[in-house]
Chains A and B, each alone.
Chain A
Amino acid sequence: MHLHHTDPVRAEIIPPAAARSGGRPRPLRVGLGGPVGSGKTATVAALCRRLRDTVSIAVVTNDIYTREDAEALLRQAVLAPERITAVETGACPHTAIRDDISANLEAVEDLQERLDPLDLVLIESGGDNLTATFSKGLVDHQIFVIDTAGGDDIPRKGGPGVTAADLLVINKTDLAPHVGADLDAMRRDAEAARGPLPTVLTSVKDDHGVDPIADWISRRLAEHTAVRS
């Protein structure tokens, strides 16, 4: 796994503090998007396992037509059931995270109310295409997850998820030799498309595979707390 680039400080995009009734800042919201099968749910599960002892976490899933992702997380018992909520998206996963974020905001607010204190909400989008991005009205930061088996030309093809996400994760590096994916080309294309934005190549199912992503989120959490205090 490789963590590229120093992380730019992007405090300027964090919206103004929305203090809650008790004066606590609202939790940090991080969106995870990416094509079907790239490993979004596996990443969320691994992040929960890695961070749950030190951070109060909740998850909102956006399944396309089932509660499969929410149920997978429940089955793996990565969080207590009351910390996982599924949102239904009416056959349009990208609408629910970008054009009309109502149902997702409602789910986030319900979790905030129910689970006080809450530090971090992970919002997993339904598997979609390379143009699916989150509204800034819904998340503070977004992670885009692609994988080597989906084709090593995806970083070159670009699209808003690849070029503009705050963190790009190229997952399943362990599969690269089996599917003929050129990791160096993927890394090079991602760097060319993303400028200073960071990219992680990893395999989240490996031991410590999720660490670079968890570390990135921990830094965003630290900034979030600093900005609001």
Chain B
Amino acid sequence: MSPLSLLILGDGRFPSGGHAHSGGAETAIAAGRVHDAATLRDFCQGRLHTTGLVAAALAAGAATGYDPLSLDEAADARTPSPALRRVARRLGRQLMRAVRVTWPGPELDDLAAARPGGAHQPVVLGVAARMAALTPYDAAQAAAYDSVCGPVTAAIRLLGLDPFQATAVTAGLCGDMEHVASQAAGHAARLPAEGVDALPATSAPLLEITAEQHATWPVRLFAS
């Protein structure tokens, strides 16, 4: 593996549509639950250990070469909110477009053909990691990082938060992200024996509820 490939895949500037999504931060900020660096950290930590863990396990699973269509169904089952399922598929489709150019490979082509409307983003991320010769743990790290850096970037724009403080929030969660990634890789390793039931199903009900509310807002800065 090349650590540089992981940096490229995880870079917030990787052109896969994520910049227009806040990961639930826009509603949390509007409700006053996130208003400074400390509350942003709490929000990101909660997201990371719930939906972030699920995303990381899906990505790690896809990076092992496990059937991405089964993982895609497992992602649906672990995403109660229809709005979040739509977002995950849309982001998956956008990521697919970018990774088919950056790390082309038959497995990406097959998944794109089987899911023309987009597979769940973490599944595409895992297959892309595989095409980039990264490990399942790498893929899980990329997904864990993604689950944190989306809300952090959104908070910088929405709250005018000091960008240094905001980046310190991300850095302060490194230990959490590594822990989640290693848990996720452990789940993924059990896929051959246990099937998709080996995957975690930790959820964040408030993120699901507010995602549904956000989808109905007439005025908003982020798509989700």
**Chain B proximity mask over A79-102: 1 for CB below 8 Å, otherwise 0:** 000000001111110011001111
A103 within 8 A of B: yes
- Do B154 and A102 touch across chains, with their CB atoms under 8 A apart? no
Interface residues of B in 185-224 (CB under 8 A from A): 218-223
B183 within 8 A of A: no
Interface residues of A in 41-91 (CB under 8 A from B): 64-67, 87-91
Given A90-B20, A91-B157, verify A102-B219 contact (CB < 8 Å).
Answer: no
Q: How far is the CB of A15 from chain B (nearest CB, A)?
A: 14
- Do A90 and B90 touch across chains, with their CB atoms under 8 A apart? no
B93 within 8 A of A: yes
**Chain A proximity mask over B19-40: 1 for CB below 8 Å, otherwise 0:** 1111000000000000000000
- Do B93 and A106 touch across chains, with their CB atoms under 8 A apart? yes
CB closest chain-A residue, reference B22 = A90
Q: How far is the CB of B146 from chain A (nearest CB, A)?
A: 14
B170 within 8 A of A: no
A105 within 8 A of B: yes
CB closest chain-B residue, reference A67 = B218
**Chain B proximity mask over A169-211: 1 for CB below 8 Å, otherwise 0:** 0000000000000000000000000000000000000000000
B5 within 8 A of A: no
- Do A66 and B20 touch across chains, with their CB atoms under 8 A apart? no
Q: How far is the CB of B166 from chain A (nearest CB, A)?
A: 15
> In whole angstroms, how far apart are the Cα atoms of A99 and B20 in the complex?
12
CB closest chain-B residue, reference A88 = B223
Residues in chain B near residue A103, CB distance under 8 A: 17, 20, 94, 223
> In whole angstroms, how far apart are the Cα atoms of A96 and B222 in the complex?
12
Q: How far is the CB of B18 from chain A (nearest CB, A)?
A: 8
> In whole angstroms, how far apart are the Cα atoms of A102 and B157 in the complex?
20
B97 within 8 A of A: yes
- Do B97 and A106 touch across chains, with their CB atoms under 8 A apart? yes
CB closest chain-B residue, reference A101 = B15
Q: Name which of B19, B94, B98, B219 has the most chain A CB atoms within 10 A of its CB.
A: B19
Residues in chain B near residue A101, CB distance under 8 A: 15
The residue from A64, A65, A89, A99 contacting B13, defined by CB atoms under 8 A apart: A99
The residue from B15, B19, B95 contacting A92, defined by CB atoms under 8 A apart: B19
Interface residues of A in 99-146 (CB under 8 A from B): 99-103, 105-106
- Do B218 and A100 touch across chains, with their CB atoms under 8 A apart? no
CB closest chain-B residue, reference A100 = B15
Residues in chain A near residue B17, CB distance under 8 A: 100, 102-103, 106
> In whole angstroms, how far apart are the Cα atoms of A96 and B19 in the complex?
8
Residues in chain A near residue B15, CB distance under 8 A: 99-102
Residues in chain B near residue A66, CB distance under 8 A: 218-219
Residues in chain A near residue B157, CB distance under 8 A: 90-92
Q: How far is the CB of A42 from chain B (nearest CB, A)?
A: 22
The residue from A64, A89, A90 contacting B154, defined by CB atoms under 8 A apart: A90
CB closest chain-A residue, reference B13 = A99
> In whole angstroms, how far apart are the Cα atoms of A145 and B19 in the complex?
26
Supply 5 A–B pairs (Cβ within 8 Å), ascending by A: A87-B20, A91-B221, A91-B222, A103-B20, A106-B94
* A-B pairs with lowest CB-CB distance, top 3: A90-B20, A102-B17, A102-B94
